[in-house]
Chain A
Amino acid sequence: MALSRRGLRRLSRAVRWAVLVLFSIALSFPFYWMLITTFKRTTDLYNLKNNPFLFAERPTLEHLRLLFGETLFLRWLINTTLAGALVVLITLVLALPAAYALARLTGRWGERLGIGIFLTYLVPPTLLFIPLSRVVASLGLQDTIWSIVVVYPSFTIPFSTWLLMGFFKSIPPELEDAAMVDGLTRFQAFARLVVPISLSGILTVVIFTFTLVTQEFVYALTFISSAAHQTVGVGVPIYLVRGDVYYWGSLMAACVIASLPIGFLYNLFLDRFIAGFTFGSVK
């Protein structure tokens, strides 16, 4: 019983939708679950007789009130934003010239060096955290937000340099040549011409760096020991738990607020990050 061509196409479309729906439910379910938990009354959450997928009692904003009114959540959001902004700044100041040098000024060995810098991105925090905890302590930065402001660029610079290098290579070199004929120095051509037209590449690096700051867990957990100095990524899972008591409603509310906006932002720039990860070997 052979299927007709049209029947086959219909079947393959049905299979695709089934696979997609199944996977997206499985992958996004925890976020749906955070969302529904956020608005449920505590008595509803902890009553095993209620269907957990539905609201047995009226929805409530109590968990959100508790989260913003009586926990350090807002403080963590501010800490994360502040650290993120500073890390972005340090990263751009160092990665922009380095990427330009690798793309234009250092020739063949620059390419090798670029790959070398990229490889340092692979050295994981879990290999370095023990010695770094001492370095941080000897700099007098332990238990402050400055510890991560100083350390995070060590993994944001390599990837950002790599991304920007690819970006600069796609700009025709004649642009700077012409400007230099007109009397600008090479550095002026870089600062006044190349950087302004690379705005979208820079924006990619800003988003990428910022998401890395919010996602990092190990260093923040290691260097910062008081709750008030934490970032969102450590504060929420570690310090919102009092003793052994989990305030699941507020905890899940914090999760929703800390994850969805970042997810949305990252999604917008996805294709650029992928080009970086795949060494530009696919377009």
Chain B
Amino acid sequence: MSRSRQRWLGPVMLLPAIVYVLALVGVPFILAFFYAVGDVKVGSTAYHFVGLQNFRSVLENPTFRRALRNSFVFTIISQALVMVGGNILALTLKDAFRGRRLFRFLILLPWVAPVSIGSIGWKWILDSLYSVINWVLVSLHLVKPLDVPMWLGQPTLAMISVILVHTWHVLPFTTVILLAGWTSIPRDIPEAAAVDGAGYFRTLFQITLPMLLPIINVALLFGVIFTFTDMTVIYILTRGGPYDTTQVLPSLAFFTGILGSDLAEGAAISLFLVPLLGVVAWLMLRTAHRAEVT
């Protein structure tokens, strides 16, 4: 009797968590598809199947096409910056030295502070009138007092601003993940290579980096997810503006589906996130599987 009770105990302890998560992740996930091929509106319970009509109207919308392009620009540029910066920082932080904990705390702040709060701090730093950056530029006579850059008011500058602020937010996360990788490499392996006559860069590119590859993968995959699917920085800094030039897929889905009350089209927009999420999940499974085998 106790044996059969044993067999049931596992599933019984597991089930509540699985049901909870499925109800609030699985069900809405399926609902998103259901909405995207229907005509759901706020305040009405009617539902008619409309096929791919929402996707068609979304694709014909120039704002959507801009948002789609922006999403990739936003993700690729900020992740490239994060990867380079994260590796440099991890390299400088990997050995023990006095003050290491303090530096790690200062560097970590942008990640651990709520991102909406950090973004509003940047909004003040990039303010059109009282920007401290502009004050410095003016006092160094790099720009004229009446012709200062409008960091959030001009399309290209606004895009650069949101990319840099998001980079600022994710960089600490990537750094600490990479740091875990760098510190896990046994010291004697690069040292042995050096003794055998390999130079610094040869050791770096042929020995150290290949050993780091799995952890770089993990950092990159999380970074891509956190960037491609986030709208917080953009919502707070520019609200997608000026003239929708800094919209990305998630922010456009929010403005269309929640503020614009067009649930169907909003759902259709956010579904464009799914292909990339699928690829990332698949790569993540491969990485996890490898970690399990070794």
Contacts and interface: CB of A to CB of B under 8 A. Distances in A.
Interface stretch (B55-63, B72-80, B85-93, B154-162): B85-93
B281 interface: yes
B66 interface: no
Nearest to A107: B10
Contact of A124 (B9, B18, B115, B229): B229
Contacts of A100: 13
The 7 A-B pairs with the shortest beta carbon distances in the complex, nearest first, are: A105-B10, A259-B113, A124-B229, A281-B291, A126-B250, A131-B31, A154-B24
Interface string B9-33: 1110110111011001111110110
Contacts of B114: 214-215, 217, 232-233, 258-259, 262
20 contacts: A16-B92, A23-B89, A31-B113, A37-B124, A94-B17, A97-B14, A101-B9, A122-B277, A122-B280, A126-B229, A127-B271, A130-B253, A132-B24, A151-B24, A154-B20, A186-B6, A211-B112, A259-B113, A262-B114, A281-B215
Determine chain A's interface SS by DSSP, over half rule. helix
A158 B281 CA distance: 15
A124 B89 contact: no
Contacts of B24: 128, 132, 135, 150-151, 153-154
Interface string B166-198: 001001100011001101100000000000000
How many B residues touch the partner, as a band?
Answer: 35 or more
B50 interface: no
A274 interface: yes
A130 B121 contact: no
Given A127-B29, A127-B274, A283 B124 contact: no
B135 interface: yes
A278 to B, nearest CB: 6
A167 interface: no
A30 B106 contact: no
Given A19-B88, A27-B171, A124-B250, 15 more contacts: A23-B89, A24-B107, A30-B118, A33-B132, A97-B13, A98-B16, A127-B270, A130-B267, A154-B25, A157-B20, A158-B21, A217-B235, A218-B231, A218-B232, A263-B113
Contacts of B215: 278, 281-282
Interface in A254-272: 254-255, 258-260, 262-264, 266-267, 270
A122 B249 CA distance: 17
Interface residues of A, number: 98
Interface of B: 2, 5-6, 9-11, 13-14, 16-18, 20-21, 24-29, 31-32, 34-35, 40, 85, 88-89, 92-93, 103-110, 112-125, 127, 129-130, 132, 135, 168, 171-172, 176-177, 180-181, 183-184, 214-215, 218, 222, 225, 229-232, 235-236, 249-250, 253-254, 257-258, 263, 266-267, 270-271, 273-274, 277, 280-281, 284-285, 287-288, 290-292, 294
